[in-house]
Structures are given as structure tokens and as C-alpha cells.
A = this chain, B = another copy of it.
Amino acid sequence: MAVDLAPEPAVAELVTRTAQFVRDVVVPVEVANDGVVPSESVRRELQAAAKEAGVFAPHVSPEYGGHGLDMCARAAVFEEAGYSLLGPVALNIAAPDEGNMHMLEAIATEDQKARYLAPLAAGDVRSCFAMTEPAPGAGSDPDALTTRAERVPGGWRIDGRKWFITGADGAAFAICMARTAGEPGDRGGATMFLVDADNPGMKVGRHVPTLDESLFGGHLEVDFDGCVVPDEAVIGEVDQGYRYAQVRLGPARMTHCMRWLGIARRAQDIAVAHAAQRELFGARLADLGMAQQMIADNEIDVAASRGLILRACWELDQGRSAGLEVSMAKTFTAEAVWRVVDRSLQLCGSVGVSGDLLLGRFLREVRPFRIYDGPSETHRWSIARRVVGRHTAAARA
């Protein structure tokens, strides 16, 4: 009944097994491919191996082949999966599929689950989440949503442009956020739609070239141009899209943090291994004070991130929206992971800059996380508003 920070035994065992699987099976593939899943066939091979090892899709319920982990348990398992850039794909817990599964399991109808969730959870297909729009549309400010869905007989017609739609290349379906009420800038009025990839009204355009390159299926421009979907394509209720987005976004931000925390630990391990064997100025690099400071700060950053993530996850597991805790964990972790990878690269010197270690790759991959899923500035703004609001409410009372 008292405070307990240890995961239950079954979870602890899964954590260990996942760590082992990633080191033995996934890391070699990652190293051989500069941190990028090279092809659909490799994706399938990795997932087959994960199923074999009993570590596949741990977040979905047993009904869909998973372990039904709550958020606190995911925190421990996903961090181990994230120890390799390819771990999340192997376990089928990469963005955006993982978040889509989470939301569909929570909100979709049984029919929708059978048709979309089941094959997604099995790794048979991939998906994408079409929310972000080019400026001045929905981005840091979701209320700016400009894509519209209008009623047509038996369904809806969607029109608008999205971009930075992760995984869209090769996705079997998209979940599209479109405005069904109000004007851009208004709060509320969005609806989520399931759109099949073969819908002629949805056009997947160019890959947006980005600093990061490891998210399978890229970041794409997607146009909805007279895209007609039936009523059954609506997820949950009409006009409730922002509410569902919150169902998805809070946990999705945390699972991002968990995965990237794995990369931070990996970077630290690479740097420590380097520092432990590198001789410099007549000493071991690991025994030089400035190197020790970087190693210590890395360790602290990882531990502090883990604590913030666990707190936010526990709040979510209690059924709370945990907006403040999620924003704090996301902001801190995104910046901490960046610092850890940066210091690790610095510790390794020229080798760290080279492709002979994966640190340059990691640096590229983690940088956008300070922007994706809400830039640090937007989260800080949100945190401050909540804190000041809490004060104002207390002062009134």
C-alpha cells in the first residue's frame, strides 16, 4: 500500500527479455544499416523475431497479441526497446502506429477494431496520423486546424493539406483530423476519420527531407482533395476529435520519451565504453575530470527523465489527464536526451563525429523531438499557464 517503484515480477521479466532481445537481435541490424530500417522485409524479419522472443506489441491487450501493459509498465519496457533505433519497429511500438493502436483500442468500435486495429497490432500493416498542417494550419496550435470535412450523403468529404505525416509512405490507412465545426482558431470542432490508403481522394505526396531519417515510412505531405469517406469512418463522435487527440497525445508523448530515453542510455554506454579504454595525456579518458562531469551529468539526466516519465505515467494510469505532468516530462526528457547524446558524442571526439559510432546518427534523430509533439516552448507556456492558474484559483479560495 506504500510507495512502490518496482514493476511487478511479470513486467520485470519482460523488461529483461526485451533488453536481451534488443542487444542480441536488433542492435546488429541497426549497426549494419546506420540506424535506419532499410526495407519492409527487414521490418518484417525483425517483427517475426520479436514475436518469437515473446516481446512483440507489449502495449496492446492479449486479445490483440500483446501483454496489456499499463503506462508505468510500458515505461520500463519501451525504454529497453528504445535502446536501439530499430527496437520500436521490431516490437511494433514505433510512432505513429503505437499511438494509433492505443487510441483505437480506447475509442474505436468493434468493427473498426477488427478492420484496422487487429492487422495493425499484428504488424501486417502500418498506419499514419494526419493532424499537422503547414503554417498557418494546425501545428503547435492545434486550434488552427484548417482541413475541413463536410457532410455528404452517407458520409463526409475531406479537403485540406497535411504535412510531416510520419509513416505515410506505405501506410494502409490514415487517421485524419478535420474540422467539422467552427473556423480555424476556434477551440473544438474537429473529428477523426479513418481513411484507407487506396481512397482516391487521399494523395501521399513528397517526402519532406528532415534532419532525422529513422522513422520508417518518412515524413510526408498528404493532400485530401474531395476525399469521401463513409459514416463508419468516423472514430468516436463527431466534433470530439480534440478530446480524442488528448487521449492519444498524452500517452504518445510519454512513449516517445520512453523510447528516446533508451537512445540516451545507449549513447551513454557507447561513450563510457570509449572513455574506459581511451588513453589521453597519460591518463584514461574516463579518469579525467571534465569527462567524468559529462558522464555524471548524462547519468543524472537519464535518471531525472525516468522519474518524470514515471510520475506522468502513474497519473495517466490513475485515469487522470495529467496535462501538467506530461508537459513537464516531455519538455525535460526531450532536452535531456539531446544533452546526453551531445555530451556522449563530445566524449568520443572525432570518432564520435564519424559514422564509426552511431552518435552522429543519434544526434540527428533526437534533435527534432524538442519540436515534434509540441515544441518545448509550447509546453513551457502550457506549464506556466497551469501553474499560474492553480495559484489564481487558490488565491480566490
Q: Select one of B8, B132, B292 contacting A381, CB under 8 A.
A: B292
Q: Is A354 an interface residue (CB 8 A)?
A: yes
Q: Is A349 an interface residue (CB 8 A)?
A: yes
Q: Is A62 an interface residue (CB 8 A)?
A: no
Which of chain B's residues have a CB closer than 8 A to the CB of A397? Answer: none
For residues 275 through 326 of chain A, which have their beta carbon under 8 Å from a beta carbon of chain B?
275-276, 278-282, 286, 288-293, 295-297, 299-300, 303-304, 306-308, 310-311, 314, 317, 324-325
A313 CB → nearest B CB, Å:
8
Q: Is A87 an interface residue (CB 8 A)?
A: no
For residues 189 through 217 of chain A, which have their beta carbon under 8 Å from a beta carbon of chain B?
208-212
| Smallest Cβ-Cβ distance to A359: which chain B residue | B211
- A interface majority secondary structure: helix
| Smallest Cβ-Cβ distance to A136: which chain B residue | B279
Q: Is A113 an interface residue (CB 8 A)?
A: no
B371 contacts A350, C-beta separation under 8 Å: yes
A238 CB → nearest B CB, Å:
26
Which of chain B's residues have a CB closer than 8 A to the CB of A251? Answer: none
Which of chain B's residues have a CB closer than 8 A to the CB of A278? Answer: 135-136
Residues of A within 8 A of B (CB): 1-8, 11, 70, 72-73, 132, 135-136, 139-141, 163-164, 185, 208-212, 219, 268-269, 272-273, 275-276, 278-282, 286, 288-293, 295-297, 299-300, 303-304, 306-308, 310-311, 314, 317, 324-325, 328, 331-332, 345-346, 349-356, 360, 363-364, 367-368, 370-372, 375-377, 379-381, 383-385, 387-388, 391-392, 395
